[in-house]
Chains A and B, each alone.
Chain A
Amino acid sequence: MKTIIPLLLALAATAVAAETDAPRSTIHAITLPKVATELRPGPGREKVQGYCGVCHSVDYIVMQPPFAKEKWGEIVAKMIKAFGAPIPKDAREEIVGYLGTAYGK
């Protein structure tokens, strides 16, 4: 499930400390929280997590409306053509099949 580690308090404390130290740091930094999103179970889920997750979190999939398998096929094809998603040919069908079933209409 979704777990979030808020680091704001720690950051705020650091900022206060930094302001009292001289010279003031020229570095501005944040730490991103960890947000975990789980995909629905089904054959192909691991391949989707592995290949799609190279470039983006899988909540990109979860937020989409239900699309027919054909539409998911177009989306995966775009990821390969436009962004060079390194999905081997023999994994494509399983990935599209999973998306069309677990997030299909």
Chain B
Amino acid sequence: MGAKRLTRRDFLKAAGTATAMAAVGTVPLELLAFDKKLVRYPEKTDLLLLTSRPPQLEMPHQLFRELVTPTDALFVRWHLSGIPTEVDLATWRLTVGGNTERTVALTMDELQKGFEPVTYTAVIQCAGNGRSFFEPRVPGGQWGDGALGNVTWTGARLKDLLARAGVKKGSVEVAFNGLDTPPLPTVPDFIKSIPVDTALDPEVIVAYAMNGAPLPMLNGFPARLVVPGWYATYWVKALSDITVLTKTSDNFWMTTAYRVPDTPCACVPPGEKPQRTVPITRMSTRSMIVEPQAGARLPAGRETEVMGIAFSGGYGIRDVAVSVDGGATWREARLGKDLGRHSWIQWRYPWRPEQKGTCRIMARATNAIGESQPFEGLWNPAGYRWNRIETVDVTVG
């Protein structure tokens, strides 16, 4: 393993036209991040505070060592300050209606026992994960890497729920609303919708368990949508209403927010405004270097290991190439246990640094359909889909 050599040209070929359109310089990470404090919220471990009302909490870097993200470590992201803090399962119902033969109101007991349970591990990632790495900087939640996790979800297939209600002809989208409420009547309620074809995909589930236990309140108790491969903006939390629509949604969170340039790379030249936009959907391919961390000091001549994770928008990872000389030469990393095409996969690269001085480690993943990562960040005004090849500088000696 690990003998195959890859050239920079191979990468450029795989990255396609995307890299040519963007230019994001290499800026030391410590200059980009504001001082995030660790906070502890109910049912969560210590996480980095972005905002408190509504809560937005980021997972610290060292927790990426885990193949499956511990439930209490998963990031938290709400849009509206009226978040649910109390749910009574005696009165909670999941309503499925709209353009359907009938409207059904399911209890949690019915959701768990009335439909075949499905379990799989899938990456959950905020569309704005990595926004703080954009240059020029863009407004919004200033996430580092930690709006990302890998969770084993259990739930009922959305298509089974829709079949119970009976989807009628002329259906175009399915909309999802949760228990969170806007602080003012003028603030649009957070409602997301997906095309009806996506809604009928047997992998899309309404999840009532994370890693075998009920969801924490802040991660969407008692149930949330899971659209594996797609950004988490669609994974509506504290789900209460599923509505089949006969036309595309005109909700702000679909028509204005969470949209990307309608170009092959979903990017525009830095600082420019896109001519046309489309709703964000599937995740881009990404790898992260977990160990060693930036600024680490490694002894020369001693065997060490570069370790990380890689994932793609539902196609599985074909290979991860690692460079320990700033991109001059690349070798394949050894991939770890495969938990399925929606999970991230761990990779390892044994390395014995010989020369004293600064070493730049880089990692680049390619998925099963050839999608890879660019050398330069792909820019868009809202700061979505960050997936530039990571660089980690360490000191040998």
Contacts and interface: CB of A to CB of B under 8 A. Distances in A.
Contacts of A57: 51-53
Contacts of A41: none
B248 to A, nearest CB: 19
A31 B85 contact: yes
Given A8-B40, A26-B88, A84 B186 contact: yes
Contact of A8 (B32, B34, B42, B139): B42
B164 to A, nearest CB: 23
Interface in B80-95: 81, 85-90
Contacts of A27: 86-90
Interface string A45-87: 0000000001111011011110100010001000000111010
B242 to A, nearest CB: 21
A86 B42 contact: no
Nearest to B215: A28
B41 interface: yes
Nearest to B38: A4
Contacts of A22: none
Contacts of A6: 40
A55 B142 contact: no
A35 B39 contact: yes
A75 B214 CA distance: 38
Contact of B252 (A30, A37, A62, A82): A82
Given A32-B42, A63-B34, A82-B256, A55 B187 contact: yes
A7 interface: yes
Residue of B39, B51, B186 contacting most chain A CB atoms (<10 Å): B51
A84 B187 CA distance: 6
B86 A29 contact: yes
Nearest to B55: A32
A4 B39 contact: yes
B42 A56 contact: no
B42 A31 contact: yes
B222 A56 contact: no
Contact of B37 (A2, A8, A28, A83): A2
A4 B40 contact: yes
B49 interface: yes
Given A56-B81, A63-B34, A65-B137, A26 B90 contact: yes
21 contacts: A4-B39, A6-B40, A11-B42, A27-B87, A27-B90, A28-B86, A28-B214, A28-B222, A29-B86, A33-B41, A35-B49, A54-B183, A55-B81, A56-B51, A59-B50, A62-B34, A67-B137, A67-B139, A83-B186, A84-B186, A86-B186
